[in-house]
Amino acid sequence: MQLALKHKNQTLAIKLAAIALLMFGFGYALAPFYGAFCQFLGIDRAEASLTQAGAALRIEFDVNVPEGLPVTMQALDSVQTGKAGGVVKARFMLRNDSDQALTVRAVPSFAPVRAAGLLRKLECFCFDALTLAPKESREVTVVLLVADQLPPEMGAATLSYSLQKVM
């Protein structure tokens, strides 16, 4: 009886050790598998290989307009490159599609978040609320100062604007 119980315990210990080894191997292989998976789907945009030759940072501009807000906004310069210590300027086209005057505010956000510390807005249409006349189109700009020191792993950043209606 004791011998059978000891044999069962040894078998159980071997199975548990094998499971632990498989879990460790899975966790170890997960990082490169995740990188390949993101590259396959094209969702890892902060990759240094996306940066153009000679450029320090690839900056992508994105716009989000909530459903129901009668405004069209488009990034005219959707991708820019900036060197360390340089200045980057991007233009956006903003249009009021309604028949009434409309006041909106653009709320910026950076991805990855640490890019906010590396890109300083010198001039931005997001500093103040914008009032647009009915059917008015207006070109607005943002001017960014790129930090003098960029981390080598920072290949790309996204500056996204979300429009909000001001009451």
Domain map (residue ranges) of the chain: 1-45, 56-165
> At residue 53, does pLDDT exceed 50?
no
| 104 contacts 164 by C-beta, under 8 angstroms | yes
Structure confidence at residue 40 (pLDDT): 82
Task: Write the pLDDT tens digit of every residue in 65-110.
Answer: 999 999 999 999 999 988 888 899 999 999 999 999 999 999 999 9
| 96 contacts 135 by C-beta, under 8 angstroms | yes
Structure confidence at residue 30 (pLDDT): 87
56-165 folds as Ctag/Cox11 (Pfam 04442) (2.60.370)
- Of all helices (H) and strands (E), which one includes residue 40? helix 2-41
| 57 contacts 154 by C-beta, under 8 angstroms | yes
> At residue 161, does pLDDT exceed 80?
yes
Helices (H) and strands (E) in the chain, counts: 1, 9
Answer whether 0.75 is exceeded by the pTM: no
Share of the chain above pLDDT 70, in %: 92
- Of all helices (H) and strands (E), which one includes residue 162? strand 156-165
Residue 51: pLDDT band with limits 50, 70, 90: very low
Lowest mean pLDDT among 5-14, 76-85, 128-137, 147-156: 147-156
Structure confidence at residue 31 (pLDDT): 82
> At residue 134, does pLDDT exceed 80?
yes
Structure confidence at residue 54 (pLDDT): 46
| Cα pseudo-dihedral 38, 145, 83, 74, rounded to 10 | 50
Average pLDDT score, the chain = 87
> At residue 149, does pLDDT exceed 60?
yes
pLDDT higher for 135 or 33? 135
